[in-house]
């Protein structure tokens, strides 16, 4: 069972018009794409994702509404260009549900998983050249420490980076998880390598830069009166979304619809524990 995070809230803030054109910039397994598509009549959804395998899964999971969905493999930085090829003009709403999907996190062959062994990959788009193995094995110790500290908000980053450099070459997720676990003791319920894995994933996929590009392209993508809804899972990302929406509002280009971020209900967290850190912010373009 797949639960799209904050689905009811995302749909409410998108204020779907049956004849509207929408972009789901992170189609993933198609959960939100389906929720949008089923509310359309003559309208359309452009379902984008940088991960070709996820797009295939999204296609299968949304087959019932295939006449209303157009799939586009694209990362955020190319989205405006790719959408303009579809000749839709500016859209009535854009949704982005950031980060990685359950499928990516749990499929060992994708190399994101701490628990199951797999190649140290972590590329969302497998056409990209840089893998997690390249980053871990060929980056200077200080740069590794910095990125684990910055993206993973991991206080023990220096010790972890030193252990990684000593253990090179590291080829598998299990090997990396073990190296980190030997370097830093477990302090809570989380695996001690959780923050390190997250940081490496964010660096491999340039997630911060990609989010900046997406936020910059909002005025180009979304028409006046259209809605922008972004769900993030990390404070670094939520801060970027908040600041970008505020800047648009100051410039008179958008109206904030959420003064504080919207978070999942207790019920949703019970049914889908990974939703617990989700924060949704919405704006209307003017």
Binding stretches for ligand SAM (CB under 6 A) = 4, 26, 28-32, 49-51, 54, 75-76, 97, 99-101, 124, 210
Q: Toward ligand SAM, which CB reaches closer, 4 or 192? A: 4
CB within 8 Å of 187: residues ≥ 6 apart: none
- Residue of 220, 282, 285 lying closest to 83 (CA atoms): 220
Q: How far is the CB of 57 from ligand SAM (least distance, A)?
A: 8
Q: How far is the CB of 101 from ligand SAM (least distance, A)?
A: 4
CA distance 155 to 164: 16
Q: Toward ligand SAM, which CB reaches closer, 75 or 244? A: 75
CA distance 186 to 176: 15
Q: How far is the CB of 152 from ligand SAM (least distance, A)?
A: 17
Q: How far is the CB of 159 from ligand SAM (least distance, A)?
A: 29
Residue 96: in which H helix or E strand, if any? strand 91-97
CA distance 270 to 233: 17
Q: How far is the CB of 185 from ligand SAM (least distance, A)?
A: 30
Q: Toward ligand SAM, which CB reaches closer, 28 or 43? A: 28
Cα dihedral across residues 236, 238, 239, 244: positive or negative: positive
Q: Which residue has the tokens 């089923």?
A: 38
> If DSSP codes are grouped into helix, strand and coil, which group holds residue 281?
strand
Tokens of 230: 């972004």
Q: How far is the CB of 187 from ligand SAM (least distance, A)?
A: 27
Q: How far is the CB of 198 from ligand SAM (least distance, A)?
A: 13
CA distance 141 to 147: 10
Q: Toward ligand SAM, which CB reaches closer, 124 or 228? A: 124
Phi, psi of 231 (to 5 degrees): -110, 125
Cβ-contact 37, 13 below 8 angstroms:
no
Q: Toward ligand SAM, which CB reaches closer, 172 or 272? A: 272
- Using alpha carbons, list the distances in angstroms from residue 101 to 98, 207, 233: 9, 14, 12
């Amino acid at each position: 069972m797949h639960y799209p995070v904050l689905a009811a809230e995302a749909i409410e803030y998108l204020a779907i018009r049956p004849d509207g054109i929408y972009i789901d910039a992170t189609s993933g397994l198609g959960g939100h794409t389906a929720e949008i598509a089923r509310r359309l009549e003559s309208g359309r959804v452009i379902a984008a994702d940088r991960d070709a395998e996820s797009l295939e899964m999204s296609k299968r999971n949304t087959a019932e509404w295939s006449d209303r969905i157009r799939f586009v493999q694209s990362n955020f930085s190319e989205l405006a260009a790719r959408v303009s090829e579809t000749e839709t003009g500016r859209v009535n709403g854009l949704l982005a549900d950031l980060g990685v999907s359950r499928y990516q996190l749990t499929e060992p062959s994708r190399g994101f998983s701490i628990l199951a062994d797999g190649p140290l990959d972590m590329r969302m788009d497998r056409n990209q050249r840089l893998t997690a193995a390249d980053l871990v094995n060929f980056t200077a110790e200080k740069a590794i420490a910095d990125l684990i500290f910055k993206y993973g908000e991991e206080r023990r980053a220096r010790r972890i980076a030193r252990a990684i450099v000593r253990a090179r070459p590291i080829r598998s997720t299990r090997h990396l998880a073990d190296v980190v676990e030997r370097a830093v003791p477990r302090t809570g319920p989380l695996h001690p390598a959780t923050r390190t894995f997250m940081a490496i994933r964010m660096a491999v996929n340039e997630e911060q830069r990609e989010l900046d590009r997406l936020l910059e392209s909002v005025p180009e993508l979304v028409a006046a009166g259209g809605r922008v809804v972004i769900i993030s899972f990390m404070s670094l990302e939520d801060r970027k979304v908040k600041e970008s929406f505020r800047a648009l509002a100051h410039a008179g280009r958008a109206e904030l619809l959420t003064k504080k971020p919207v978070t999942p209900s207790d019920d949703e967290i019970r049914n889908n524990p990974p939703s617990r850190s989700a924060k949704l912010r919405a704006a209307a373009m003017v």
